[in-house]
A and B are shown apart, each in its own frame.
Chain A
Amino acid sequence: MKGSNVALTGLLLAFTVACGTQPASRPADSYTGAGSDVEHFASFEAAVRSADAVAFVSVIGSAPGRTVTVSTVTLPFTNVTMKVLEAAKGVATGAVIVVEQTGGATPNGALVSDTDPPYRTGTTHLLLLRSIPAGFRIISSVGRYDVVGGAIRRNEHADFPNPFVGKTATELITWARQLR
């Protein structure tokens, strides 16, 4: 390999490492996970219509959930407890629900899902949920919208625009209720 190519490669890799996609707070010994969604939606409205529950929630806490071990590979899950602040369908306002999340604590650190990073107590989110035996899960990588400062944030994994980005969860919930 020519010297110029080596220098360029080193520069590029250094730049890549320096500009990594993950938060600086992630553990030194950590795991990044990402997957292939099962459910696909052509629009935000289609996703909302498909969801079993649509709710504006506040995170109460989380606890380690089930683990699945195959060979030497153990996949952890986390059960996140949330209070429903407002609901469009599928759950009642004021209810406490459990959302199962892929990822969580591992013996050596933490597995962080790229499309569904860990929830922190007190944060608020607009979730499109699918019912499962353990409670709920988000419908896919497009099922989670963080709500910060009262405004809905963009979900960068969504293949379609969310017309409510920047608006309040109440506005979205009000609209979603009318879809039924």
Chain B
Amino acid sequence: MFNLVFWAAGPLSRTADAHYFCQVWPYSQQIGVLSLKHWNQVSASTYPEFGDAIYNWNTSPTAAYFQYGDQYNWQVHSVNTDYGNTGWAGYTVVHGSCGSATDASVLLNDYFLVGYSYYARRHVEAHELGHALTLDHAPSGYASVMLASDYTYWAVAQHDIDDMNARYPR
């Protein structure tokens, strides 16, 4: 895996082992912000915390910013349905050749999520939005919303902020 050497504040206080998808969003030097348009098909009545997860990323001290687009103008597309007993509650697909992301899809699996608590869904949704930003899973032992198998962290944590700022400097 890709190792980027920088310091991260985590419970273990060690050099981070940052993991990213090979795709990366184009970086705009003019605005200094990674702007992702978002077409939300996820019902607010079904998953009201999805907007909270977006707000969480948008207000983090990173270049992450999701804004609502329309059906013809979007880069991140979120959908929900019953994908069956897949073993995952959320799944994100980033499209593009290595080095250039073109669009992403955030898939929420009703098979599991419908029975989840608010905070469990918040974890899944913030986690998947992190994938849409091309962050991969965080190594175990860190306080991170990007842990694959630990729902303890339901909000963007310092480790996630450090990873984002390393990949998309502001």
Contact = CB atoms under 8 A, between A and B. Distances in A.
Nearest to B101: A32
B93 A115 contact: no
A13 B27 contact: yes
Contacts of A100: 86
Contacts of B29: 1, 6, 9
A152 interface: no
B137 A32 contact: no
B74 to A, nearest CB: 10
B37 interface: no
Interface string A74-107: 0100000000000000000000000010100000
Contacts of A70: 41, 79-81, 107
B43 interface: no
B11 interface: no
A34 B97 contact: no
A48 interface: no
> Which of A8, A16, A39, A139 has the largest number of chain B CB atoms within 10 A?
A16
A6 B83 CA distance: 43
B91 A35 contact: yes
B88 A8 contact: no
Interface string A1-40: 1000110110011011101111000101111111111111
Contacts of B27: 9, 13
Interface string B62-94: 000000000000000101110111111111111
Interface of B: 1-4, 19-24, 27, 29, 32, 41, 77, 79-81, 83-99, 105, 107, 112, 123-124, 127-128, 131, 136-137, 139-141, 147-151, 166-167, 169
Please provide the 10 A-B residue pairs with the shortest distance between their CB atoms, ordered closest to farther: A20-B22, A35-B88, A35-B91, A159-B140, A17-B99, A22-B22, A70-B79, A37-B149, A36-B90, A36-B124
16 contacts: A12-B167, A12-B169, A15-B4, A17-B22, A21-B19, A22-B98, A30-B97, A31-B93, A32-B94, A35-B92, A36-B88, A71-B41, A75-B93, A75-B107, A137-B87, A159-B140
